[in-house]
Amino acid sequence: MAFGASKDVWGAKLLPEVQRNLATIARTIARFEPVTMLVRKGDLATAKKLVGDEVELVVCPLDDLWMRDTGPVFVVNEEGDRAAIDFNFNGWGEKQEYERDAEVAGFVAHEAAVRSITTDVVLEGGGIEVDGHGTAIITESCVLNSNRNLGVSKSAMTAELKRLLGLEKIIWLPGIKGKDITDEHTDFYARFAKQGVVVAGYDPDPKSFDHAVTKRHLEILRAATDAEGRKLEVVVLEAPGTVREKYANDDFAAGYINFYVCNGAVIVPEFGDVKADTAARDTLKRLFPEREVVQINIDGIAAGGGGVHCTTQQEPSV
Protein backbone atom coordinates (compact mmCIF):
# COMPACT_ATOMS: atom_id res chain seq x y z
CA MET A 1 0.00 0.00 0.00
CA ALA A 2 1.01 3.66 -0.24
CA PHE A 3 0.28 6.36 2.35
CA GLY A 4 0.55 8.84 -0.49
CA ALA A 5 -2.45 11.14 -0.30
CA SER A 6 -1.49 14.82 -0.50
CA LYS A 7 -3.25 18.14 -0.01
CA ASP A 8 -2.43 19.15 -3.59
CA VAL A 9 -4.40 16.20 -5.00
CA TRP A 10 -7.06 15.60 -2.34
CA GLY A 11 -7.58 19.02 -0.79
CA ALA A 12 -7.23 20.03 2.85
CA LYS A 13 -10.79 18.99 3.78
CA LEU A 14 -10.67 15.46 2.40
CA LEU A 15 -7.03 14.61 3.17
CA PRO A 16 -7.39 13.63 6.87
CA GLU A 17 -10.29 11.29 6.10
CA VAL A 18 -8.43 9.67 3.23
CA GLN A 19 -5.43 9.08 5.49
CA ARG A 20 -7.70 7.52 8.11
CA ASN A 21 -9.26 5.31 5.43
CA LEU A 22 -5.85 4.11 4.28
CA ALA A 23 -4.93 3.24 7.84
CA THR A 24 -8.23 1.39 8.32
CA ILE A 25 -7.64 -0.68 5.19
CA ALA A 26 -4.05 -1.44 6.19
CA ARG A 27 -4.88 -2.41 9.77
CA THR A 28 -7.81 -4.54 8.64
CA ILE A 29 -5.72 -6.48 6.13
CA ALA A 30 -2.91 -6.79 8.69
CA ARG A 31 -5.23 -9.00 10.76
CA PHE A 32 -4.87 -11.59 8.00
CA GLU A 33 -1.55 -11.05 6.22
CA PRO A 34 1.56 -8.82 6.43
CA VAL A 35 1.16 -5.29 5.11
CA THR A 36 3.96 -2.99 3.94
CA MET A 37 3.05 0.63 3.29
CA LEU A 38 5.18 3.15 1.42
CA VAL A 39 5.15 6.65 2.89
CA ARG A 40 6.78 9.99 2.16
CA LYS A 41 9.36 11.01 4.75
CA GLY A 42 7.28 14.05 5.71
CA ASP A 43 4.20 11.91 6.39
CA LEU A 44 5.98 9.23 8.40
CA ALA A 45 4.90 10.51 11.83
CA THR A 46 1.26 10.79 10.74
CA ALA A 47 1.31 7.31 9.24
CA LYS A 48 2.89 5.79 12.37
CA LYS A 49 0.23 7.38 14.55
CA LEU A 50 -2.60 6.01 12.38
CA VAL A 51 -1.35 2.48 11.61
CA GLY A 52 0.54 1.76 14.82
CA ASP A 53 2.86 -1.25 14.93
CA GLU A 54 0.63 -3.48 12.82
CA VAL A 55 1.94 -2.23 9.48
CA GLU A 56 5.51 -1.98 8.20
CA LEU A 57 6.28 1.53 6.92
CA VAL A 58 8.93 2.13 4.24
CA VAL A 59 9.98 5.64 3.19
CA CYS A 60 9.60 6.28 -0.54
CA PRO A 61 8.85 9.34 -2.73
CA LEU A 62 5.18 9.30 -3.81
CA ASP A 63 2.69 11.34 -5.82
CA ASP A 64 -0.49 9.54 -4.70
CA LEU A 65 -1.91 6.46 -3.01
CA TRP A 66 -3.03 4.10 -5.80
CA MET A 67 -0.68 1.14 -5.33
CA ARG A 68 -2.82 -1.11 -7.54
CA ASP A 69 -1.83 1.10 -10.47
CA THR A 70 1.65 2.31 -9.56
CA GLY A 71 3.00 -0.89 -8.04
CA PRO A 72 4.32 -3.83 -10.04
CA VAL A 73 2.22 -6.82 -11.05
CA PHE A 74 3.84 -9.89 -9.50
CA VAL A 75 4.10 -13.12 -11.47
CA VAL A 76 5.30 -16.61 -10.53
CA ASN A 77 6.73 -19.23 -12.86
CA GLU A 78 6.39 -23.01 -12.68
CA GLU A 79 9.55 -23.26 -10.59
CA GLY A 80 8.10 -20.91 -7.99
CA ASP A 81 10.35 -17.96 -8.85
CA ARG A 82 8.75 -14.53 -8.46
CA ALA A 83 9.19 -11.49 -10.65
CA ALA A 84 7.56 -8.07 -10.84
CA ILE A 85 6.30 -6.46 -14.05
CA ASP A 86 6.75 -2.70 -14.39
CA PHE A 87 3.88 -1.48 -16.58
CA ASN A 88 5.25 2.05 -17.03
CA PHE A 89 2.71 4.04 -15.02
CA ASN A 90 2.05 7.37 -16.77
CA GLY A 91 -0.61 9.00 -14.59
CA TRP A 92 -3.53 7.31 -16.35
CA GLY A 93 -2.62 8.88 -19.65
CA GLU A 94 -0.81 11.90 -18.19
CA LYS A 95 -3.89 13.18 -16.36
CA GLN A 96 -1.99 13.70 -13.09
CA GLU A 97 1.58 14.25 -11.92
CA TYR A 98 3.34 10.87 -11.91
CA GLU A 99 7.11 11.38 -11.89
CA ARG A 100 7.54 9.79 -8.44
CA ASP A 101 4.84 7.18 -8.83
CA ALA A 102 6.45 6.02 -12.09
CA GLU A 103 9.38 4.78 -9.98
CA VAL A 104 7.25 2.87 -7.45
CA ALA A 105 7.11 -0.41 -9.39
CA GLY A 106 10.88 -0.62 -9.59
CA PHE A 107 11.24 0.41 -5.94
CA VAL A 108 8.84 -2.33 -4.80
CA ALA A 109 10.58 -4.95 -6.93
CA HIS A 110 13.91 -3.98 -5.36
CA GLU A 111 12.48 -4.05 -1.83
CA ALA A 112 10.92 -7.46 -2.52
CA ALA A 113 14.27 -8.69 -3.90
CA VAL A 114 12.75 -9.98 -7.12
CA ARG A 115 13.62 -9.48 -10.77
CA SER A 116 11.87 -6.60 -12.51
CA ILE A 117 10.38 -7.42 -15.93
CA THR A 118 10.17 -4.56 -18.42
CA THR A 119 7.77 -4.03 -21.32
CA ASP A 120 6.77 -1.22 -23.65
CA VAL A 121 3.12 -1.65 -22.61
CA VAL A 122 1.60 1.11 -20.47
CA LEU A 123 -1.24 0.07 -18.19
CA GLU A 124 -2.33 -0.09 -14.57
CA GLY A 125 -3.01 -3.08 -12.36
CA GLY A 126 -6.60 -1.97 -11.89
CA GLY A 127 -7.17 -2.52 -15.60
CA ILE A 128 -6.52 -6.25 -15.51
CA GLU A 129 -8.25 -9.08 -13.63
CA VAL A 130 -7.04 -12.69 -13.79
CA ASP A 131 -8.33 -16.04 -12.55
CA GLY A 132 -4.89 -17.56 -11.97
CA HIS A 133 -5.61 -20.26 -14.55
CA GLY A 134 -4.88 -18.48 -17.81
CA THR A 135 -7.92 -16.20 -18.18
CA ALA A 136 -8.01 -12.41 -17.88
CA ILE A 137 -10.71 -9.77 -18.09
CA ILE A 138 -9.44 -6.40 -19.36
CA THR A 139 -11.14 -3.13 -20.30
CA GLU A 140 -10.33 -1.81 -23.77
CA SER A 141 -11.06 1.76 -22.70
CA CYS A 142 -8.01 1.72 -20.45
CA VAL A 143 -5.44 -0.49 -22.17
CA LEU A 144 -6.32 0.09 -25.84
CA ASN A 145 -6.18 3.84 -25.41
CA SER A 146 -3.95 6.27 -27.31
CA ASN A 147 -3.05 8.04 -24.05
CA ARG A 148 -1.22 4.87 -22.99
CA ASN A 149 -0.50 2.68 -26.00
CA LEU A 150 -0.70 4.81 -29.14
CA GLY A 151 -1.04 2.74 -32.31
CA VAL A 152 -0.98 -0.65 -30.57
CA SER A 153 -3.59 -3.03 -31.97
CA LYS A 154 -5.76 -5.36 -29.91
CA SER A 155 -4.02 -8.39 -31.39
CA ALA A 156 -0.56 -7.05 -30.55
CA MET A 157 -1.64 -6.12 -27.04
CA THR A 158 -3.22 -9.53 -26.55
CA ALA A 159 -0.02 -11.29 -27.58
CA GLU A 160 2.18 -9.19 -25.28
CA LEU A 161 -0.09 -9.57 -22.25
CA LYS A 162 -0.33 -13.32 -22.82
CA ARG A 163 3.48 -13.45 -22.84
CA LEU A 164 3.92 -11.30 -19.75
CA LEU A 165 1.13 -12.73 -17.59
CA GLY A 166 1.06 -16.36 -18.70
CA LEU A 167 -2.41 -15.94 -20.17
CA GLU A 168 -4.20 -18.16 -22.62
CA LYS A 169 -7.34 -16.06 -23.09
CA ILE A 170 -8.37 -12.43 -22.63
CA ILE A 171 -12.02 -11.42 -22.34
CA TRP A 172 -12.19 -7.79 -23.48
CA LEU A 173 -14.83 -5.47 -22.02
CA PRO A 174 -15.42 -2.11 -23.74
CA GLY A 175 -15.48 0.20 -20.69
CA ILE A 176 -15.81 3.93 -21.35
CA LYS A 177 -12.98 6.30 -22.24
CA GLY A 178 -12.84 9.63 -20.47
CA LYS A 179 -15.54 9.11 -17.84
CA ASP A 180 -13.08 8.90 -14.98
CA ILE A 181 -9.35 9.45 -14.54
CA THR A 182 -8.62 5.75 -15.17
CA ASP A 183 -10.73 5.47 -18.33
CA GLU A 184 -12.74 2.82 -16.48
CA HIS A 185 -10.69 0.06 -14.92
CA THR A 186 -11.78 -3.58 -14.91
CA ASP A 187 -11.69 -3.77 -11.11
CA PHE A 188 -14.86 -1.69 -10.82
CA TYR A 189 -16.70 -3.82 -13.38
CA ALA A 190 -15.78 -7.50 -13.02
CA ARG A 191 -13.76 -9.71 -10.67
CA PHE A 192 -13.09 -13.43 -10.45
CA ALA A 193 -14.36 -15.03 -7.24
CA LYS A 194 -12.73 -18.28 -8.36
CA GLN A 195 -12.02 -20.09 -11.58
CA GLY A 196 -15.17 -19.94 -13.70
CA VAL A 197 -17.07 -17.54 -11.42
CA VAL A 198 -17.19 -13.78 -12.06
CA VAL A 199 -18.70 -11.07 -9.88
CA ALA A 200 -19.92 -8.26 -12.13
CA GLY A 201 -21.36 -4.82 -11.56
CA TYR A 202 -24.62 -3.59 -13.04
CA ASP A 203 -26.08 -0.09 -12.93
CA PRO A 204 -29.88 -0.46 -13.22
CA ASP A 205 -30.52 3.29 -13.62
CA PRO A 206 -31.31 3.95 -17.33
CA LYS A 207 -30.20 7.58 -16.86
CA SER A 208 -26.73 6.61 -15.65
CA PHE A 209 -23.75 6.73 -18.03
CA ASP A 210 -22.80 3.28 -16.71
CA HIS A 211 -26.16 1.65 -17.44
CA ALA A 212 -25.60 0.71 -21.08
CA VAL A 213 -21.96 -0.31 -20.66
CA THR A 214 -22.59 -2.52 -17.62
CA LYS A 215 -25.49 -4.14 -19.46
CA ARG A 216 -23.15 -4.83 -22.39
CA HIS A 217 -20.48 -6.19 -20.05
CA LEU A 218 -22.96 -8.68 -18.61
CA GLU A 219 -23.89 -9.84 -22.12
CA ILE A 220 -20.20 -10.37 -23.00
CA LEU A 221 -19.38 -12.19 -19.76
CA ARG A 222 -22.44 -14.45 -19.91
CA ALA A 223 -21.52 -15.47 -23.47
CA ALA A 224 -17.83 -15.94 -22.68
CA THR A 225 -15.82 -19.04 -21.86
CA ASP A 226 -12.58 -19.16 -19.91
CA ALA A 227 -9.22 -20.55 -21.02
CA GLU A 228 -10.39 -24.08 -20.28
CA GLY A 229 -13.54 -23.67 -22.36
CA ARG A 230 -16.06 -23.50 -19.53
CA LYS A 231 -18.89 -20.96 -19.55
CA LEU A 232 -18.60 -18.36 -16.86
CA GLU A 233 -21.03 -18.20 -13.96
CA VAL A 234 -21.80 -14.48 -13.64
CA VAL A 235 -23.02 -13.14 -10.30
CA VAL A 236 -24.37 -9.59 -10.33
CA LEU A 237 -23.46 -7.30 -7.44
CA GLU A 238 -25.49 -4.11 -7.67
CA ALA A 239 -24.18 -0.82 -6.30
CA PRO A 240 -25.85 0.88 -3.31
CA GLY A 241 -28.82 3.11 -4.01
CA THR A 242 -27.64 5.72 -1.51
CA VAL A 243 -24.40 6.71 0.21
CA ARG A 244 -23.64 8.81 3.28
CA GLU A 245 -23.93 12.50 2.45
CA LYS A 246 -20.77 13.80 4.12
CA TYR A 247 -18.37 12.92 1.30
CA ALA A 248 -20.82 12.32 -1.55
CA ASN A 249 -19.87 13.95 -4.86
CA ASP A 250 -19.99 13.28 -8.60
CA ASP A 251 -16.75 11.24 -8.46
CA PHE A 252 -17.87 9.04 -5.55
CA ALA A 253 -17.14 5.38 -6.38
CA ALA A 254 -20.10 3.59 -4.82
CA GLY A 255 -19.64 -0.09 -5.59
CA TYR A 256 -18.69 -3.39 -4.03
CA ILE A 257 -16.77 -4.95 -6.94
CA ASN A 258 -13.53 -3.26 -5.85
CA PHE A 259 -12.97 -5.67 -2.95
CA TYR A 260 -9.60 -7.09 -1.89
CA VAL A 261 -9.07 -10.81 -1.33
CA CYS A 262 -6.44 -11.56 1.30
CA ASN A 263 -5.39 -14.60 3.30
CA GLY A 264 -8.60 -15.76 4.95
CA ALA A 265 -10.73 -12.69 4.26
CA VAL A 266 -12.40 -10.44 1.73
CA ILE A 267 -12.22 -6.72 2.50
CA VAL A 268 -15.15 -4.79 1.01
CA PRO A 269 -16.68 -1.34 1.53
CA GLU A 270 -19.99 -0.47 3.13
CA PHE A 271 -21.78 2.77 2.24
CA GLY A 272 -24.59 3.10 4.79
CA ASP A 273 -27.25 1.59 2.52
CA VAL A 274 -28.22 -1.23 4.86
CA LYS A 275 -30.08 -3.30 2.27
CA ALA A 276 -27.36 -3.08 -0.39
CA ASP A 277 -24.50 -3.45 2.11
CA THR A 278 -26.09 -6.59 3.54
CA ALA A 279 -26.80 -8.05 0.10
CA ALA A 280 -23.19 -7.49 -0.93
CA ARG A 281 -21.87 -9.10 2.24
CA ASP A 282 -24.19 -12.11 1.89
CA THR A 283 -23.25 -12.61 -1.77
CA LEU A 284 -19.53 -12.46 -1.03
CA LYS A 285 -19.94 -14.85 1.91
CA ARG A 286 -21.58 -17.32 -0.44
CA LEU A 287 -18.86 -16.93 -3.06
CA PHE A 288 -15.98 -17.04 -0.54
CA PRO A 289 -17.28 -19.54 2.07
CA GLU A 290 -13.84 -20.14 3.59
CA ARG A 291 -13.06 -16.46 4.09
CA GLU A 292 -14.33 -13.85 6.51
CA VAL A 293 -16.09 -10.94 4.77
CA VAL A 294 -15.10 -7.68 6.47
CA GLN A 295 -16.87 -4.45 5.55
CA ILE A 296 -15.28 -1.08 6.28
CA ASN A 297 -16.05 2.60 5.72
CA ILE A 298 -13.80 4.11 3.02
CA ASP A 299 -15.95 7.12 2.10
CA GLY A 300 -12.99 9.48 1.78
CA ILE A 301 -11.21 7.25 -0.73
CA ALA A 302 -14.50 6.58 -2.55
CA ALA A 303 -14.97 10.35 -2.85
CA GLY A 304 -11.78 10.36 -4.91
CA GLY A 305 -13.10 7.67 -7.23
CA GLY A 306 -11.37 4.63 -5.75
CA GLY A 307 -11.85 1.61 -3.56
CA VAL A 308 -10.08 -0.98 -1.42
CA HIS A 309 -8.62 -2.92 -4.34
CA CYS A 310 -7.24 0.30 -5.87
CA THR A 311 -5.15 1.02 -2.77
CA THR A 312 -3.54 -2.42 -2.58
CA GLN A 313 -1.23 -4.66 -4.60
CA GLN A 314 -0.64 -8.22 -3.48
CA GLU A 315 2.75 -9.92 -3.44
CA PRO A 316 2.54 -13.72 -3.65
CA SER A 317 4.29 -15.87 -1.09
CA VAL A 318 5.88 -18.96 -2.64
DSSP conformation class of 108 = H
Burial group, residue 202, by CB count within 10 angstroms (0-12, 13-18, 19+): middle
How would you classify the pairing of strands 128-130 and 135-139?
antiparallel
Please confirm, yes or no, whether 262 is among the known catalytic residues. Answer: no
Q: What are φ and ψ of residue 38, in 5° steps?
A: -75, 150
CA dihedral sign, ordered 256, 261, 262, 264: positive
Cα 149 from Cα 156, distance rounded (Å): 11
The CA angle 19-23-26, to the nearest 5 degrees, is 140
Residue closest to 26 by CA, chosen among 67, 48, 54, 45: 54
41 CB neighbour count, 10 Å cutoff: 9
Residue closest to 145 by CA, chosen among 220, 92, 189, 66: 92
Helix (H, G, I), strand (E, B) or coil at 235: strand
Across 10-29, b (16+ Cβ under 10 Å) vs e yields beeebbebbbbbbbbbbbbb
DSSP conformation class of 71 = S
Cα 84 from Cα 181, distance rounded (Å): 25
* Consecutive H or E run containing 215: helix 209-223
Cα 214 from Cα 203, distance rounded (Å): 6
Catalytic entry in 60, 142, 262, 310? 310
Known catalytic residues?
310
